[in-house]
């Protein structure tokens, strides 16, 4: 059996040449990576949708305007009607996968109700859908240089502006993505 590089708690950074519209210029946080495949949440694709829109559909009252205006993200192309919340690991919810001591992903309604009431995790990112890879698929895409991967940092997910996250994740690896794009017009 070949060596298995576990990319749980890593960022998967789309190489500039990766044209797939689902992943163009994305940063994906890998929540789980086993021999059976991988699952992650794209953290830099805000939708034209806000928590107010989702909570209205779920008939959940929102406590503050700030919460209502929080962006909802496109987490990936799989189960795009289902909510996934990336958050700090301060609390356990009904359906939580604890990725690290700092970051968890929760899919149960109780966390959304808590966020709406202003009692949710201090740091959270609400996404619809996730990115999934079958057994060996991510490894083969990495071998084809579709992605850069490196250790994740929670402050990039929760504290950086979404438009900065792609380059910020690459900065952790010391990589300037603009030098990799190959379309910068240099002779």
Residue range 161-180, pLDDT digits in tens: 999 999 999 999 999 998 88
Output the CATH code of domain 10-180. Answer: 3.40.1740.10
Scan for tokens 């698929």, then name that residue. Answer: 137
Instruction: Look at strands 147-151 and 10-14 and give their pairing.
Output: antiparallel
In tens, the pLDDT along 82-133 reads 999 999 998 889 999 999 999 999 999 999 999 999 999 999 999 999 999 9
CA-nearest of 2, 18, 1, 5 to 138 is 5
In tens, the pLDDT along 15-42 reads 998 889 999 999 999 999 999 999 999 9
CA-nearest of 69, 153, 55 to 112 is 55
Write down the domain spans for the chain. 10-180
Query: pTM for this one?
Result: 0.92
Q: Name 10's bridge partners.
A: 151
* 132 close to 37: Cβ distance less than 8 angstroms: yes
């Amino acid at each position: 059996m070949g060596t298995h590089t576990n990319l749980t708690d890593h960022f998967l950074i789309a190489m500039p040449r990766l044209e797939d519209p689902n992943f163009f210029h994305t940063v994906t946080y890998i929540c789980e990576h086993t021999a059976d495949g991988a699952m992650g949440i794209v953290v830099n694709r805000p939708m034209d949708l806000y928590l107010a829109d989702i909570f209205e559909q779920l008939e959940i009252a929102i406590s503050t305007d700030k919460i209502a205006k929080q962006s909802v993200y496109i987490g990936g192309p799989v189960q795009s009607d289902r909510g996934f919340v990336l958050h700090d690991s301060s609390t356990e919810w009904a359906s939580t996968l604890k990725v690290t001591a700092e970051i968890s992903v929760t899919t149960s309604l109780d966390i959304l109700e808590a966020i709406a009431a202003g009692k949710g995790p201090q740091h959270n990112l609400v996404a619809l859908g996730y990115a999934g890879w079958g057994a060996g698929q991510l490894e083969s895409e990495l071998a084809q240089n579709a992605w850069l991967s490196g250790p994740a940092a929670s402050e990039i997910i929760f504290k950086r502006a979404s438009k900065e996250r792609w380059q910020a994740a690459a900065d952790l690896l010391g990589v300037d993505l603009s030098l990799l794009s190959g379309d910068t017009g240099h002779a």
